[in-house]
């Protein structure tokens, strides 16, 4: 009995042992199958679960002005997107999501339904942006919604913190984040950078715990522009005021440093907000695109009389003419057999020296210089001044202007100079130039005779991964000599006289000497012919001895001519630029416009000595002592007894500001004569009729 | 406790004393139950415990080995675990850095907006008060001054 029990137990134990061995073998076999046979497949599955490749975004580069003030920078944001085809109950979805996003539900509903109806393969059928740049709170609330197909994706927003300032220089971005105007478009590749890739390992909660760069991203380059935001602001304001005063339709102003062609300000009117999205509706779209037109580089116009600067320069630089050369201006009408006569618009001049031809803006005078030197010489000088060629400024869509070939390539070639083209080109007809071309040409005169390359980018830097900056090369041509230095100085003096005694008197700037040239080209409207509207312009520089700024102003479609419309804008812009650049003054700061009274009063003064004022006589004039030596200003001059014009002239000569009360002759003044004035103080002069 | 029957009787005595009187259901005594169910008290007071050093050492060695192995395993796993924790931390710091850089950009944009020429002029026009003449200090003319007013008439 006991033996039987033992055998049974042993048999059972053997079976359990066998089963255990089989089970172990099965486990081992499965392990071998999983670990060896299916190794590669499961490795791939595991990697897909825990290891992912994610893109490393390249941040678009910043744009700052020459002082480091940000003009454009990018901020990373997130946007909410869906696949509209996965939305089952559109009404319910829209009603749930609308309060979170602050968008009307019908708008969301209509958008989804419209996309659902799009034909297969049509763009946007499976993708709809619910809202761009959602806040963290909005994103969190969206994630809590019972719609798993709402995705929060990375996005980026371009900020233009100065609103419309320098919008034509900066440009804007399209929906895809690529530049569609301005520097944003021209240097898109530099600014955008190249995205990279990164491998990340994630845990069971899909939170990454290890990442390594697979392909490094190339960050967008930061651009430091030559623009000065303060000068730019002043230029835009002066231009808007000038446009309003002159009833112009379009306008542009450009401020350039003559020695190297650095553009300090470039403004157009009308302007636009870079943040605004170009609308889809055709009419609004056309208007938006019109505002984005960069007139300074994309729209050439006939320069008119400003071209005379080049013709006179040609005469002097070739040595054929000097400052004393006399030119017969035919009393305002220069008839040629078989040709239309050339006339001077304002008044006729007889024989005048070459400088007066420019000062008085005589068409006949410059035409005679061009006729004398011939078309080839004029062509060569136009080339030397960069006419008919793109300047290479870092802005898109730059035009080369209009300058036809000197010689025709065949009998049917009409894009060439005619027999008398050089006569008309000499005073700015049959030729078209952009504002930036005119600025470059003016800079030749202002900088001693070198043709410079106008540019906006002062520096390019690319951020490295370690936080340092890598300087990128900015390739620029060296200035080329175009005219002699002596010619440049001669021209500057002549152009200063244009401002002092010629057509550009309104371009005077208090505190600095200026030189320039006005220009007016009558507009030809197809169907209407020549209309009494002009493209008015002014090119100039300041100070004359060593110009620090070149300013070009062009107002299109205005009834006023350059001297009346563009010169005042020049004065405002040049004054602001010189003040901001802290250029030392070289002229009296308190310049008073010449008036007929002043002209009369400029004769020998007969000052009637009045009896001393009882009030002032009673009070002994004790010169007030300044509280600090640093507060010492000039001593107050004695204006008593002088007429108004004499007071103004004297105060102007002394640089003392006066406050005028009443009319007649000066009776009393405060502070009294001889007292030390506080620096920057003014003298109150009370006038009374004797 | 002498017999199994006695035990059962003792157990049943408390529960159904009345029935016990009515019907005798007690089990009969098992044959030789006094032998089978005899419990002998063992007195170990006279037993002397002999120290088994080998067994003790073996036990301690076993325990020590297990502990050492555990420590070794933990030590081996510790760097990996630590690096995992640190990796998590590094990743969270990376993301935090990205957020801070983005915030910095946003702040710079706000600052630039406030410092824009239009804004500066707006505030200057509203808030600027011309200082009194004696509150202004004028520096002596520098070398670059090209013109200055004479001190007297």
CATH number of the structural domain spanning residue A576: 3.40.710.10
- Using the Cβ of A679 and the Cβ atoms of chain B, whether some distance falls under 8 Å is answered with yes
- Using the Cβ of B108 and the Cβ atoms of chain A, whether some distance falls under 8 Å is answered with yes
Q: Is the pLDDT of residue B130 over 90?
A: no
Closest residue, chain A, to B109 (C-alpha)? A161
Domain containing A652 — which CATH number? 3.30.10.20
pLDDT for res A375: 94
- Using the Cβ of A69 and the Cβ atoms of chain B, whether some distance falls under 8 Å is answered with yes
On whether both A445 and A483 belong to a single domain, the answer is: yes
Element (H, E) at A537: strand A529-542
pLDDT for res B138: 64
Distance CA A369, CA A364 (A): 9
Structural domains counted in chain B: 2
CB contact under 8 A, B133 and A588: no
On whether both A251 and A157 belong to a single domain, the answer is: no
A112: Cβ–Cβ under 8 A, 6 or more apart, which residues? A82, A84, A87, A90, A93, A94, A128
Average pLDDT over residues B118-131: 74
On whether both A298 and A422 belong to a single domain, the answer is: yes
Closest residue, chain A, to B151 (C-alpha)? A634
Structure tokens at A684: 């109150």
Chain A (616-675) residues lying within 8 Å, Cβ to Cβ, of chain B: 627-628, 630-635, 637-638, 654-656, 673-674
pLDDT for res A456: 97
pLDDT in tens, B52-92: 899 999 999 999 999 999 999 999 999 999 988 998 899 99
Distance CA B82, CA A593 (A): 82
Domain that holds residue B25: 1-43
A37: Cβ–Cβ under 8 A, 6 or more apart, which residues? none
Closest residue, chain B, to A56 (C-alpha)? B98
Q: Which residues of chain A have pLDDT under 50?
A: 592-632
CB contact under 8 A, B153 and A673: yes
Domain that holds residue A527: 226-276+286-587
Residue B121 lies in a domain: yes
- By DSSP bridging, strand A480-481 and strand A457-463 are unpaired
On whether both A603 and A622 belong to a single domain, the answer is: yes
On whether both A414 and A546 belong to a single domain, the answer is: yes
Distance CA A626, CA A621 (A): 15
- Using the Cβ of B135 and the Cβ atoms of chain A, whether some distance falls under 8 Å is answered with no
Structural domains counted in chain A: 4
On whether both A579 and A541 belong to a single domain, the answer is: yes
Q: How far does the CA of residue A102 sit from the closest CA of chain B (Å)? A: 22
Residue B56 lies in a domain: no
Residue B60 lies in a domain: no
On whether both A163 and A236 belong to a single domain, the answer is: no
Residue A541 lies in a domain: yes
pLDDT for res A139: 92
Selected for mutation to probe chain A from B89, B117, B137, B144 (highest A CB count within 10 Å) is B117
Q: The complex's ipTM?
A: 0.73
Put the strands of the sheet holding A51-56 in their side by side order: A51-56, A196-202, A208-215
pLDDT for res A14: 92
pLDDT for res A615: 34
- Which among A211, A585, A635 has CB closest to B147? A585
Residue B131 lies in a domain: no
pLDDT for res A596: 43
pLDDT in tens, A470-506: 999 999 989 999 999 999 999 999 999 999 988 899 9
Q: Is the pLDDT of residue B15 over 70?
A: no
On whether both A328 and A438 belong to a single domain, the answer is: yes
* Cβ proximity of A329 and A279 under 8 Å: no
Selected for mutation to probe chain A from B84, B85, B91, B99 (highest A CB count within 10 Å) is B91
Q: Is the pLDDT of residue B150 over 50?
A: no
Q: How would residue B133 be classed by pLDDT, with cut points 50, 70 and 90?
A: low
Residue B52 lies in a domain: no
Q: How would residue B152 be classed by pLDDT, with cut points 50, 70 and 90?
A: very low
Q: How far does the CA of residue B21 sit from the closest CA of chain A (Å)? A: 44
A7: Cβ–Cβ under 8 A, 6 or more apart, which residues? none
Structure tokens at A385: 């001044």
């Amino acid at each position: 009995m006991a033996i039987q029990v033992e055998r049974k137990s042993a048999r059972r134990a053997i079976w359990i042992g066998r089963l255990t061995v089989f089970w172990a073998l099965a486990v081992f076999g499965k392990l071998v199958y999983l670990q060896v046979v299916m190794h590669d497949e499961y490795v791939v599955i595991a990697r897909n679960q825990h290891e992912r490749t994610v893109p490393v975004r390249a941040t678009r580069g910043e744009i700052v002005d020459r002082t480091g003030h940000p003009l454009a920078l990018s901020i990373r944001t997130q946007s909410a997107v869906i696949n509209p085809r996965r939305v089952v109950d559109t009404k319910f979805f829209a009603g749930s999501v609308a309060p979170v996003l602050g968008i009307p539900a019908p708008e969301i509903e209509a958008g989804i339904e419209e996309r659902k109806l799009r034909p297969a393969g049509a763009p946007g059928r499976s993708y709809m942006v619910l809202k761009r740049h959602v806040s963290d709170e909005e994103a969190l609330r969206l994630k809590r919604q019972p719609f798993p197909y709402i995705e929060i994706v990375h996005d980026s927003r371009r900020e233009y913190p100065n609103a419309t300032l320098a919008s034509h220089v900066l440009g804007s971005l399209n929906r895809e984040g690529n530049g569609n105007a301005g520097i944003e478009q021209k240097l898109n590749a530099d600014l955008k950078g190249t995205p990279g890739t990164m491998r990340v390992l994630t845990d069971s909660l899909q939170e990454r715990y290890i990442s390594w760069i697979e392909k490094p991203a190339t960050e967008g380059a930061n651009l430091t522009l030559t623009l000065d935001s303060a000068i730019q602001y002043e230029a835009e304001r002066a231009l808007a005021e000038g446009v309003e005063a002159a009833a112009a339709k379009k306008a542009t102003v450009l401020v350039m440093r003559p020695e190297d062609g650095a553009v300090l300000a470039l403004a157009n009117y009308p302007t636009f907000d870079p943040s605004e999205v170009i609308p889809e509706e055709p009419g609004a779209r056309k208007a938006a695109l019109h505002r984005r037109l960069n007139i300074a580089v994309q729209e050439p116009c006939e320069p008119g009389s400003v071209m005379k600067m080049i013709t006179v320069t040609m005469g002097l630089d070739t040595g054929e003419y000097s400052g004393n050369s006399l030119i017969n201006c035919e009393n305002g009408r220069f008839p040629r057999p078989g040709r239309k006569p050339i006339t001077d618009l304002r008044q006729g001049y007889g024989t005048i020296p070459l400088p007066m031809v420019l000062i008085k803006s005589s068409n006949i005078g410059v035409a005679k210089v061009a006729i004398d030197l011939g078309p080839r010489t004029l062509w060569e000088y136009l080339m030397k001044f960069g006419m008919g060629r793109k300047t290479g400024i870092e802005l898109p869509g730059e035009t080369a202007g209009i300058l036809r070939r000197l010689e025709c390539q065949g009998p049917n070639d009409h894009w060439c100079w005619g027999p008398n083209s050089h006569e008309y080109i000499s005073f700015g007809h049959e030729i078209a130039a952009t504002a930036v071309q005119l600025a470059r040409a003016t800079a030749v005169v202002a900088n001693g005779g070198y043709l410079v390359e106008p540019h906006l980018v002062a520096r390019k830097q690319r951020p490295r991964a370690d936080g340092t900056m890598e300087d990128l090369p900015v390739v620029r041509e060296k200035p080329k000599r175009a005219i002699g230095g002596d010619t440049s100085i001669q021209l500057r003096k002549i152009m200063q006289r244009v401002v002092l005694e010629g057509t550009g008197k309104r371009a005077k700037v208090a505190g600095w000497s200026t030189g320039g040239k006005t220009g007016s080209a009558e507009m030809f409207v197809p169907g209407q012919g020549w209309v009494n509207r002009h493209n008015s312009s002014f090119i100039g520089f300041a100070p004359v001895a060593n110009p620090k700024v070149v300013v070009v102003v062009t107002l299109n479609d205005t009834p006023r001519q350059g001297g009346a419309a563009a010169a005042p804008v020049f004065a405002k812009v040049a004054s602001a630029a010189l003040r901001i650049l802290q250029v030392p003054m070289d002229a009296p700061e308190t310049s008073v416009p010449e008036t007929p009274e002043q002209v009369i009063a400029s004769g020998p003064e007969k000052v009637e000595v009045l009896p001393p004022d009882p009030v002032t006589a009673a009070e002994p004039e004790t010169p007030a002592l300044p509280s600090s030596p640093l507060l010492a200003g000039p001593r107050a001059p004695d204006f008593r007894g002088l007429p108004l014009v004499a007071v103004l002239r004297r105060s102007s000569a002394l640089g003392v500001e006066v406050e005028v009360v009443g009319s007649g002759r000066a009776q009393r003044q405060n502070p009294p004569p001889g007292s030390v004035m506080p620096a920057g103080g003014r003298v109150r002069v009370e006038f009374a009729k004797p | 406790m002498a017999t199994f029957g006695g035990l059962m009787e003792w157990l049943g005595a408390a529960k159904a004393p009345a029935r016990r009187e009515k019907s005798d259901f007690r089990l009969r005594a098992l044959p030789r139950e006094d032998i089978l169910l005899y419990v002998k008290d063992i007195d170990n007071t006279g037993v002397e415990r002999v120290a088994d050093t080998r067994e003790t050492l073996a036990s301690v060695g076993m325990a020590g080995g297990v502990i050492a192995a555990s420590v070794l395993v933990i030590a081996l796993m510790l760097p990996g675990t630590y690096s995992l924790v640190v990796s998590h931390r590094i990743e969270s710091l990376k993301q935090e850095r990205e957020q801070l850089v983005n915030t910095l950009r946003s702040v710079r944009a706000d600052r630039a907006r406030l410092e824009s020429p239009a804004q500066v002029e707006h505030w200057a026009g509203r808030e600027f008060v011309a200082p009194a003449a004696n509150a202004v200090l004028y520096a002596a003319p520098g070398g670059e001054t090209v013109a200055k007013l004479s001190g007297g008439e």
